[in-house]
A = this chain, B = another copy of it.
Amino acid sequence: MRYERMTPFRVMDLVRQAQAYGDTIHFEVGQPDLPPPPGVKRALGEAVERERFTYTESMGLRELRERIAAHYRHDYGVEVDPARILITPGTSNAFLVAYLLTLEAGGRLGLADPSYPCYPNFAAMVDAEPRFFPVDRSNDYLLGPEDLEGTALDVLHISSPSNPTGTLYDAEALKRLADYCREEGIALISDELYHGLVYGKRAHTALEFSDEAIVINGFSKYFCMPGLRIGWMVVPENLIRPAEIIAQNLFISAPTLSQYAALEAFDYDYLAEVRETFRRRRDYLYEALNPLLPVDAKPDGAFYLWCDVSAYTEDSTAFSRELLEAIHIAVTPGIDFGRHGTATKLRFAYTRKIDHMAEGVARLEKYLKERP
């Protein structure tokens, strides 16, 4: 059956296993520990008080779609017609909508290897064929048109900043890919979920370079609202109605309370503090980990470090289990993200306070020194 071609999202299993110990240090968790902007909590309280418990339109609250369009003006100087914005229950469902819009059974989906583990699993759901393009430190874990040439793709799906590596497409790289996709008739899907969590650089949206790209973003990371399960996608003009039809069926409408909450999420002063917190954490963890387990990619954003553990193992999955059992450190094994060089990598998330991470680094340093 189809699910046999899907892999577990191992980090979710790891989260469960990690609960077995009272003193686990969490480097596995892919969600912020910070609360959302204070207006979000107020808006939720108010929406509960007003009993906002019914469906909304399938495309989502008009005010929210307009608010997101304003965000594109504010952060990128890009005009986006709110009619092109679909509110989704998290970005996960948005990926499926995007694939249903662009891929037939047997359709060819281009993905970086490594990349977010759910992408190929969504491909399995719609019987599309993922084509993996290896990325590594030689190309900053980013794809360029030269990597794709000679392969007939229907869709190219990129993420920037990338999960698991945190590397970022700059304006020129993104424009080159957008142009290439337009010329070759390839649908471009750009996962921009970690935008906002970019340090010392500027993130660019594919919408700056293409009206045909499908852009996916959400409130789970930068806006610190993962459990509210709310995201959005921007689709090209000609896919608005198809996207609406899919949404009507697949989820009817995104959670209503979360939609009202999201209206108050664009608190740029607060969000700047969120970014600064993660920047400090990145700086700390990068400096602390790099001498122990070299960071293999330049981490410009998101909240992950992609570390090379080849000095210790050829099997980072076993190594991650060993670290959990021996010193109660939860780290995501590289093979969750692909096959290219992943067996000697671990993904460390810096989603917890520096004190917490420092305790983990201390345990790790001691353990690696004494390890036979």
Contact = CB atoms under 8 A, between A and B. Distances in A.
A1 B106 CA distance: 12
A102 B250 CA distance: 17
Interface stretch (A76-84, A219-227, A288-296): A219-227
B126 A100 contact: no
Contact of A250 (B36, B44, B92, B254): B92
A139 to B, nearest CB: 27
A185 B93 CA distance: 31
A52 to B, nearest CB: 6
A144 interface: no
A41 B51 contact: yes
Interface in A45-98: 45, 48-49, 51-58, 89-90, 92-93, 96
Contact of A229 (B100, B102, B248, B251): B251
Contact of A1 (B9, B57, B90, B104): B104
Given A105-B105, A122-B249, A251-B89, A53 B229 contact: no
B249 A92 contact: yes
A8 interface: yes
Contacts of A52: 227
Contact of A248 (B12, B56, B100, B251): B12
A16 interface: yes
A361 interface: no
Interface stretch (A255-263, A269-277, A324-332): A255-263
Chain A contact residues (Cβ within 8 angstroms of B): what range? 35 or more
A118 interface: yes
A2 interface: yes
A358 interface: no
Contacts of A103: 2
A256 B228 contact: yes
A6 B96 CA distance: 15
A217 interface: no
Nearest to A33: B54
A51 B31 contact: no
Contacts of A89: 89-90, 93, 229, 251, 255
A275 B133 CA distance: 56
B57 A251 contact: no
Interface in A1-22: 1-4, 6-9, 12, 15-16
A41 B31 contact: no
Contacts of A244: 8
B245 A3 contact: yes
A242 B55 contact: no
A182 to B, nearest CB: 19
A127 interface: yes
A101 interface: yes
A101 B51 CA distance: 35
B44 A1 contact: no
A145 to B, nearest CB: 25
Contact of A45 (B12, B48, B245, B250): B48
A204 to B, nearest CB: 27
B35 A44 contact: no
Most buried by B among A93, A100, A252: A252
5 contacts: A7-B245, A89-B255, A93-B93, A227-B255, A255-B258
Interface of A: 1-4, 6-9, 12, 15-16, 31, 35-36, 41, 44-45, 48-49, 51-58, 89-90, 92-93, 96, 100-105, 118, 121-122, 125-127, 224-229, 242, 244-246, 248-258
